[in-house]
Amino acid sequence: MRLPGAQFSSCQKRRYIVHIDLDAFFASVEVLLNPSLKGKPLVVGGLPHERGVAATCSYEARKYGVHSGMPLRECYKLCPEAIFVRGNYHLYQSFSEKFFQILHDYTPDVEEASLDEAYLEFTRCGQLYSSFTEVAKDIKCRVEREVGLSVSVGAASNKILAKLATRRAKPGGFFELQPGEEEEFLRELDISAIPGIGPKAQVMLRLLNVHKIADLWRLPLATLRSLFGVMGDELYLLSRGIDYRPLQTRGKSESFSRETTFLQDVWDRDLLLAHLAYLSDRLALTLRQEKFYAQVIEVKARYSDFKTVSKRRFLSMPVQEMNRIYRVAEELFLELWDKSRLTLRLVGVKGSRLVEERHLSLFEFYQEKDERLSQALDRVRERYGFTAVLTGREKMLGEVYEEDKGRGFILKTASLTR
């Protein structure tokens, strides 16, 4: 079967995309800081008897079947000799920042896809470099040298192919997909390799005896549409290695969110609101650092039985101040939760519909006051640490969590989604 992608490549300007992803990120940081862990199975995310799941594990632990998202107790059963650590999210974030700083040196077109993963586009950089392949290799060396962590790099003509190339390169390798090799490369890959084919979609497809990407090519577009709605079109193209998605560069971030799972389920209203206030504060800080205002605020709550609910509000005036975000978040949260008053295992707050500026209306002088207050707050925190200034509500968390040297509370699972 010929891939329809081949006919496009000749008439379109060929893109050069590099995908880069740190290997066993959280675990590798732990090993870097404590070399006695090197070569050992390591699980990051909690201790074996604790509730919760593994955030990640070293490649040595993966040999036992342990993986991200697996309940810690199950990890322990599969690999009792593994070393378990709770992890330190602030630390990982600082490594992540260093990683992205290096990437931004090479091209203005960088998509920070997650904490340890990015796409770089070189299509516009033809004048700058004589060989993109050499640049991609150079980035890999520099990250390894300056961040100190192992990284895998894939290069291809679009995002999906570059991501799959990295998957092939893991751990620690470099793989560049050459034009014309797409079909052979994709054919044998498992359908789970395609982003967007989650566990539910996999079950449906496997029932149709579709296991490999080549099996997907047999399904007509209409079938995919009837199975997956609008996503069907995307799967049709992605499975053929056709992907026109542009990079979501910094200015194009769609949302920022902060959420956390609790150490134990919580029903105490004040404690729930304390978490919400702290998360709103972290979200506000990120928005200001990234120079965005959010026009939509959304809160999320997950009950003990994993049922998840959310509620959002469109604001006439975009926000980036903690007190404004919290006010909306509290109202939304209470609308969600007051009816049930059941125990929760997670809360989160998200800002979306991001805009880069807002126009203060004549009647909103007080907005300026909020803005100045936030700036003063940022200055104090820069000097004395995040926890130097907290609201009364947030301080309640001091009874539950340890502080990370003034940088913030060490939550169970700090959300680091962008």
Question: What positions carry a catalytic annotation?
Answer: 117
Which run of H or of E encompasses 182? helix 182-187
Considering the rule CB under 6 A, would residue 115 count as an interface residue with ligand TTP? yes
| C-beta of 53 vs 377, nearer to ligand TTP | 53
Write out the binding residues for Mg ion, residues 80-119 only, by CB under 5 A. 116
* Least distance CB 88 / ligand TTP (angstroms): 12
Considering the rule CB under 5 A, would residue 21 count as an interface residue with Mg ion? yes
Q: Strand, helix or coil at 279? A: helix
* Least distance CB 63 / Mg ion (angstroms): 17
Q: Which does 298 bind (CB under 5 to 8 A by kind): ligand TTP, Mg ion, none?
A: none
* Alpha-carbon distances, residue 239 vs 200, 383, 411 (angstroms): 17, 50, 39
Considering the rule CB under 5 A, would residue 234 count as an interface residue with Mg ion? no
* Least distance CB 384 / ligand TTP (angstroms): 29
Considering the rule CB under 6 A, would residue 157 count as an interface residue with ligand TTP? no
Write out the binding residues for ligand TTP, residues 4-23 only, by CB under 6 A. 21-23
| C-beta of 22 vs 110, nearer to Mg ion | 22
How far is the first Cα of the chain from the last one, in angstroms, to the nearest whole number?
39
Which of 3, 37, 43, 55 is close enough to bind ligand TTP by CB under 6 A?
55
| C-beta of 171 vs 385, nearer to Mg ion | 171
Considering the rule CB under 6 A, would residue 117 count as an interface residue with ligand TTP? yes
Dist CA 192 CA 229 (whole Å): 18
136: nearest Cα among 118, 116, 148? 118
Q: Which residues of 325-361 are buried (b: 16+ CB within 10 A; e: fewer)?
A: bbebbbebbbebbeeeeeebbbbbbbbbbbeeebeee
Total binding residues toward Mg ion, as defined by CB under 5 A: 4
| C-beta of 66 vs 224, nearer to Mg ion | 66
Report whether 106 contacts 139 (CB < 8 A).
yes
What phi and psi, each to the nearest 5 degrees, are found at residue 231? Answer: -60, -25
Work out the angle at residue 28's Cα, subtended by the Cα atoms of residues 406 and 264, and round it to the nearest 5 degrees: 55
| C-beta of 83 vs 149, nearer to Mg ion | 149
Dist CA 312 CA 180 (whole Å): 46
* Least distance CB 86 / Mg ion (angstroms): 19
Dist CA 319 CA 212 (whole Å): 46
Q: Which residues are CB-neighbours of 409 under 8 A, at least 6 positions away?
A: 278, 387, 397, 398, 401, 402, 403
56-75 footprint of ligand TTP as x/- string (CB under 6 A): x-----------xx------
Write out the binding residues for ligand TTP, residues 236-275 only, by CB under 6 A. none
* Least distance CB 22 / Mg ion (angstroms): 5
Which of 3, 5, 19, 25 is close enough to bind Mg ion by CB under 5 A?
25
Q: Which does 9 bind (CB under 5 to 8 A by kind): ligand TTP, Mg ion, none?
A: none
Q: Which residues are CB-neighbours of 220 under 8 A, at least 6 positions away?
A: none
Which of 26, 122, 292, 409 is close enough to bind ligand TTP by CB under 6 A?
26
Q: Which residues of 217-228 are buried (b: 16+ CB within 10 A; e: fewer)?
A: bebeeeebeeeb
327: nearest Cα among 390, 379, 284? 284
Considering the rule CB under 5 A, would residue 404 count as an interface residue with Mg ion? no
Written as six digits, the tokens of 212 are 């490999």
Considering the rule CB under 5 A, would residue 321 count as an interface residue with Mg ion? no
**Residues of this chain that bind Mg ion (CB under 5 A):** 21-22, 25, 116
Q: Residues in the site for ligand TTP, rule: CB under 6 A? A: 21-26, 55-56, 68-69, 115-117, 170-171
